[in-house]
């Protein structure tokens, strides 16, 4: 097997040289933009990263669209809101059950996630308008299902032709006497799905939260925001909190009903799991209802224990604090031997993570639990605050793309603004080092000079694998097979493929075992990574003017290099 020919030494790659190697293939303009999105970490004072900007056409990245962020991520998992995609059937189908946000509705409640409702927009509607068809669809859906609430989700053509879905929603609300809401989440509205999160946050806050003032009866009552029950994660968190004596009123949005969301404002505390997708609701609930929020993380054993202690500290009850310590101790008895055994096999191995807007950070804790090192990480669509911490919020430039998304003006509710802690209690907590709204971002917890790569391209991923040779990569379905064809196991960290849950202590054990299986299987040895194969002959750029026999000959010549053919 031949050694890879690299300009950067493999053993101890210099991150600055790796960055240069990644950029050198690009045209000058592309390289200039990508250079801002690839930075060398400084944990003490994270450098500015060019996040939440448009992906350049022609490079392949993992992002989704604004409609996906609204329909698929934040609103989608509320299982008894009947959701109608207004637009082409492809968009509707794309957002239907492709994300494993599991639900277990009580008997007798319809779970609309099983259905794919769509107006099937055709040329006729593009030319003459689709509002009539949308109204028909709403009436038809209502007649069949009699839902409590209906949401209309806009796709790109809806915005382009100017269908007024908000007026349609208003008229249908009057006609049917149920809550009908419209979301202008056209796919092109923002640079990624992140814009769709914001639009969904606004809609859920304006149209649902606050409709029911009756709180659940519980001594310690909170919401988990930004937890979507992928592979059953929210169930693990809920079970763990219940063991401690903490009641979750509403998980936004994982295995949650419309009625649970209506009373989300009646809790004492909001715990924010995924800061990227839901910080807007946390902020708006604080302003309007006086509910404080803290950042929580139930991914990783150490992170989970830290989060439980933080929640207990907030509620300031000896009984709860003791119970939390008891639960942590119990859970660790079961977890520790598994972790230690697996850690013994994989300590010091290298992982890289490129996921969404929060998991590339959270899952670092699980790999660290196993003594593994994170050699590089990045988000697909997060903003600077998710990388550098919320302290940079005032310095983030609001560009034309962000201005597209409505910022709702929120004021304290004259009747319902009830801070759940007195100013004295808050001051005492803060004096003891307790911080609210305290997301420090990914970079502060990563080693100096680690490569942080925003919206990573396939080319950069290939270079990263060639040079760093990570033992495992956490990423998504769009690049999973590219990575695995290079002989590197890829843990799918969005839907987890078929596995999970990975949250809380029980989930952490599942994760350790899964990583152990992936790292110890011999299957990777049967794959020859591209850099160890004989170089392919250069692909002709243009077939123009050649007859088909010549084209076929040419195609054969670059498809089948002799050295590779022998190995197969």
Question: Active-site positions?
Answer: 65, 68, 99, 197
516-548 burial string, b = 16+ CB within 10 Å, else e? bebbeeeebeeebbbbbeeeeeeeeeeeeeeee
d(CA 279, CA 214): 24
Interface with ligand CFM, residue 358, by CB under 6 A: yes
> Of the two residues 73 and 451, which places its CB atom closer to ligand CFM in the complex?
73
Q: Which of 219, 239, 240 is nearest to 309 (CA)?
A: 240
> Of the two residues 250 and 277, which places its CB atom closer to ligand CFM in the complex?
277
At residue 27, the 3 state secondary structure works out as coil
Please state the closest distance from residue 448 (CB atom) to ligand CFM, in A: 24
Contact stretch for ligand CFM (CB under 6 A) within 52-60, 357-365, 413-421, 529-537: 357-365
Interface with ligand CFM, residue 193, by CB under 6 A: yes
Please state the closest distance from residue 493 (CB atom) to ligand CFM, in A: 6
Token pair in block for residue 50: 């060019």
Contact stretch for ligand CFM (CB under 6 A) within 160-168, 208-216, 272-280, 448-456: 272-280
d(CA 221, CA 268): 6
Q: Cβ distance 14 to 451 under 8 Å?
A: no
**The binder of ligand CFM chosen from 355, 372, 405, 519 (CB under 6 A):** 355
**The binder of ligand CFM chosen from 46, 357, 441, 501 (CB under 6 A):** 357
Question: What sign for the dihedral angle of Cα 355, 310, 392, 39?
Answer: negative
Residue nearest to ligand CFM (CB): 356
Please state the closest distance from residue 455 (CB atom) to ligand CFM, in A: 12
d(CA 210, CA 416): 9
Site size for ligand CFM (CB under 6 A): 16
> Of the two residues 266 and 475, which places its CB atom closer to ligand CFM in the complex?
475
Q: What is each CA distance from 491 to 85, 221, 481, 516, in whole angstroms?
A: 31, 34, 11, 11
**The binder of ligand CFM chosen from 71, 86, 173, 276 (CB under 6 A):** 276
Count how many Cα atoms sit within 13 Å of the Cα of residue 521 in the half-sphere of its side chain: 15
> Of the two residues 77 and 147, which places its CB atom closer to ligand CFM in the complex?
77
Phi, psi at 14, each rounded to 5°: -85, 115
**The binder of ligand CFM chosen from 182, 230, 284, 453 (CB under 6 A):** 230
At residue 378, the 3 state secondary structure works out as strand
> Of the two residues 99 and 339, which places its CB atom closer to ligand CFM in the complex?
99
Interface with ligand CFM, residue 185, by CB under 6 A: no
Q: Scanning the structure block, which residue is given the tokens 């304290």?
A: 412
Please state the closest distance from residue 2 (CB atom) to ligand CFM, in A: 37
- Where do the H-state alpha helices sit in 290-438? 301-315, 318-346, 359-369, 384-388, 400-403, 423-431
d(CA 306, CA 296): 9
Q: In the window 480-499, what residues touch ligand CFM (CB under 6 A)?
A: 494
**The binder of ligand CFM chosen from 79, 112, 183, 228 (CB under 6 A):** 228
**The binder of ligand CFM chosen from 73, 158, 172, 181 (CB under 6 A):** 73
Please state the closest distance from residue 30 (CB atom) to ligand CFM, in A: 24
> Of the two residues 356 and 487, which places its CB atom closer to ligand CFM in the complex?
356
* Interaction mask 84-103, ligand CFM, x per CB under 6 A: ---------------x----
Please state the closest distance from residue 502 (CB atom) to ligand CFM, in A: 11
Q: Cβ distance 99 to 254 under 8 Å?
A: no
d(CA 165, CA 131): 7
Interface with ligand CFM, residue 356, by CB under 6 A: yes
> Of the two residues 228 and 511, which places its CB atom closer to ligand CFM in the complex?
228
Contact stretch for ligand CFM (CB under 6 A) within 40-48, 349-357, 481-489, 523-531: 349-357
Task: Classify residue 500 as left (phi > 0), alpha (psi -120 to 50) or beta.
Answer: left
Residues binding ligand CFM (CB under 6 A): 69, 73, 99, 193, 226, 228, 230, 274, 276-277, 355-359, 494
């Amino acid at each position: 097997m031949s050694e890879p020919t690299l300009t950067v030494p493999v053993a101890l790659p210099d991150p600055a040289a790796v960055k240069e190697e990644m950029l050198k293939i690009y045209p000058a303009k592309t390289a200039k933009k990508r250079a801002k999105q690839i930075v060398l970490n400084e944990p003490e004072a994270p450098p500015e990263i060019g996040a939440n900007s448009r992906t350049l056409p022609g490079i392949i990245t993992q992002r989704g669209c604004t409609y996906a962020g609204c329909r698929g991520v934040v609103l989608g998992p509320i299982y008894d809101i009947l959701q109608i995609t207004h637009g082409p059937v492809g968009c509707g189908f794309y957002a239907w059950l492709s994300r494993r946000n599991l639900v277990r509705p009580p008997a007798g409640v319809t779970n609309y996630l099983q259905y794919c409702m769509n107006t099937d927009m055709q040329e006729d509607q593009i030319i003459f308008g689709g509002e009539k068809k949308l109204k028909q669809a709403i009436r038809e859906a209502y007649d069949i299902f009699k839902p409590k609430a209906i949401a209309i989700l806009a796709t790109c053509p809806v915005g382009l032709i100017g269908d007024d879905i908000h007026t349609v929603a208003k008229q249908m609300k009057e006609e049917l006497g149920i809550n009908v809401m419209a979301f202008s989440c056209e796919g092109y509205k923002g640079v990624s799905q992140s814009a769709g999160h914001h639009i969904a946050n606004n809609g859920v806050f304006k149209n649902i939260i606050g409709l029911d003032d009756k709180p659940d009866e519980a001594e310690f009552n909170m919401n988990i925001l930004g937890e979507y029950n992928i592979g059953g994660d929210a169930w693990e968190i809920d079970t763990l909190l219940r063991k401690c004596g903490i009641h979750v009123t509403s998980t936004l949005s994982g295995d949650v009903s419309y009625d649970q969301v209506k009373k989300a404002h009646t809790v004492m505390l909001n715990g924010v799991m995924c800061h990227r997708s839901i910080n807007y609701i946390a902020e708006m609930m604080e302003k309007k209802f006086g509910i404080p929020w803290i950042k929580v993380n139930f991914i990783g054993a150490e992170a989970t224990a830290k989060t439980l202690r933080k929640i207990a500290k907030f509620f300031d009850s000896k009984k709860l604090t003791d119970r939390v310590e008891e639960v942590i101790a119990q859970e660790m008895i079961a977890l520790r031997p598994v972790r230690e055994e697996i850690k013994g096999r994989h300590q010091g191995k290298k992982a890289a993570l490129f996921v969404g807007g929060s998991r590339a950070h959270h899952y670092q804790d699980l790999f660290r639990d196993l003594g593994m090192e994170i050699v590089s990480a990045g988000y697909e669509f997060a903003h600077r605050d998710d990388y550098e911490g919320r302290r940079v919020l005032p310095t983030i430039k609001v560009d034309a793309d962000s201005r597209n998304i409505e910022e709702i003006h929120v004021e304290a509710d004259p009747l319902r603004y009830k801070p759940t802690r007195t100013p004295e209690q808050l001051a005492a907590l803060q004096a003891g080092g307790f911080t609210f709204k305290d997301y420090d971002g990914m970079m502060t917890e990563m080693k100096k000079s680690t490569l942080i790569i925003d919206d990573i391209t396939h080319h950069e991923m290939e270079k990263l694998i060639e040079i760093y040779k990570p033992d495992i990569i956490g990423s998504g379905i769009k690049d999973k097979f590219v990575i695995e064809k290079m002989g590197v196991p890829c843990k799918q960290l969005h839907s987890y493929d078929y596995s999970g849950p990975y949250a809380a202590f029980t989930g952490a054990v599942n994760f350790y075992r899964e990583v152990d299986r992936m790292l110890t299987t011999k299957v990777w040895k049967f794959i020859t990574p591209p850099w160890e194969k004989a170089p392919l002959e250069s692909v002709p750029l243009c077939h123009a003017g050649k007859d088909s026999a010549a084209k076929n000959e040419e195609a054969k010549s670059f498809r089948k290099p002799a050295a590779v053919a022998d190995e197969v």
